[in-house]
Chain A
Amino acid sequence: MAMTTGRHTGAAAHHTVEGTDPGLNVVTAVPESPAALPPVLLIHGFASSVELNWDKSGWIQALLEAGRRVIAVDLPGHGASSAPEDVDSYTPSRIRADLLQIASDAGARPIADGHPDSGLDVVGYSLGSRLAWEFGATQPSLVRRLVLGGPSSRDPLAEFDLVAAQRFLADGTPIEDPSTATLVSMAQASPGSDMYALLSLVEGVKEEPYDPGEAVPRQPVLMVAGERDERVATIERLRELVPHAEVLILPGRTHVNAVTARAFKHAAIEFLAQS
C-alpha cells in the first residue's frame, strides 16, 4: 500500500488576504477511503510545525486512516512558511484570517444541513488551541467541532519578557523569568526555526493577548491535556466558559509528549466522527 497516495502540498487556489500573500506553507492530505465528514484543519503550537506537531507525531496518518481529509498550515515564521518582517503578519487576528482563506481555498464550505461533509473540524495544540478557540468562536457557520490539545486559559506568550529574550540573544544575559526562559529554549531547540520570526510572533500575540471569555465557541469541544502539563489546571477556567466541553487528561504525559499519545488521537478521531 502506497502511503503517499493522494497526498500533495499546496492548495488548488491561492489568494492574498487583505492585499498581501501570507506565504504560509499548506499541507493537504486526502484519504484513500473518504468518510462523509468535513475536512480537518490542524493548527500547531509555538516553535513547532506541521512536520513536528502533526506528521512525525502520527496525527496525519491516523486521520487519513479514519477517512479524514487533512488541511495543515505552518504558522508564519514556522516550518516551511515565510517569515515576514512586519509584526502585523503574526497577530492572531491576521493568522485567523489567513487560516480562513486557506481552509476555503482547500475546499472547506460552510455547514449545510443534509451535507455531512460540509463545515470544518479544527484540531489545535497549545498556541494552536488558542487560535482554534477564537477561530471556532468567530466562524460558527464554518467550524463544526473543536479539539483543543494542551490548552491554556492564560497565554504564556503574552507574559513573555521580550526585552530579556532579545538581550539573551544579543549577548547571553540570563533570562530571569522562568516561563520566558523555557519558551526561548523551546524556540532554540526547534529545528530550522527562525528566532527573530518567533519573537515577532510573540510581539503579535502581546498586541492581542488571549481572552477566552471575549469570544466563546458554541461548537462541541473536546479538551485534551497531559496530567503533568503545567497548564492543565487552567482547563477548569476554560470549562467554566464551555460547560458542554468534554475533557480528557492523559496520565503521566507532559505538554511536549501528550502530542503523540494514542489515547489523544483516538479520542479526537472518535469525537470528530460524531454528527
Chain B
Amino acid sequence: MAEIPFPLPDLGEGLIEATVLEWLVAEGDQVERNQPLVEVETAKSALELPSPQAGRVLKVYGAPGEVIPVGDPLIVFEVPDDAAGIVGTVPADGAPTRRVRLSANLDDD
C-alpha cells in the first residue's frame, strides 16, 4: 500500500485559504474519484471539493470551522502500490476536470 497526500488545491481568484464546513467522508472510507470529499467556504463562496482519485481515506485534516491555507494538507489516501505511481503524483487517469462546461456560445459544441 502507498500513501498519497492531497493538499488544499488552488481555488483560483487569488484565494489563499478555505474554512472547513463539513467533511463528507471519514477516515477509513473507500471513496471514488470525483466523489465529494469536503464542503469548504472561501471569502467568495461555499463549494464542495471532489476527490482527485479513488482510494481509502487514511487521514483528514481540519475540523469544521478550521481554516486551511492553500497547499497545506487536506487529506491522505491509501491506495494499492500498483495504482499509486510515484507518491504525490496524480494517477494516470488524469486530473479531475470541471464537471460542467460553461459556455455562452451555443454553436461551439
Contact = CB atoms under 8 A, between A and B. Distances in A.
Interface centre among B21, B22, B48, B103 (most CB of A within 10 A): B48
A141 interface: no
Interface string A45-64: 00010111001111011000
Contacts of A213: none
Interface residues of A, number: 39
A193 B36 CA distance: 27
Contacts of B39: 58, 257, 260-262
B95 to A, nearest CB: 13
A39 B77 CA distance: 36
B83 interface: no
A256 B22 contact: no
B97 A81 contact: no
Interface residues of B, number: 27
B109 interface: yes
Contacts of B24: 262
Contacts of B104: 23, 25, 80-82
B51 to A, nearest CB: 11
Interface stretch (A3-11, A169-177, A217-225, A237-245): A3-11
B48 A56 contact: yes
Interface string A232-275: 00000000000000000000000011111110000000000000
A147 B22 CA distance: 22
Interface in A79-104: 79-82
Interface string A26-48: 11010000000000000000001
Interface centre among A9, A261, A262 (most CB of B within 10 A): A9
A209 B41 CA distance: 31
Contacts of A74: 102
A269 to B, nearest CB: 14
Contacts of B107: 10
Contacts of B97: 4
10 tightest A-B CB contacts, nearest first: A58-B48, A10-B106, A80-B104, A260-B46, A56-B47, A257-B46, A260-B39, A257-B41, A9-B103, A25-B104
Interface of A: 1, 3-4, 7-11, 14, 23, 25-27, 29, 48, 50-52, 55-58, 60-61, 74, 79-82, 189-191, 256-262
Interface of B: 12-13, 21-22, 24, 32, 34, 36, 39, 41, 43-48, 97-104, 106-107, 109
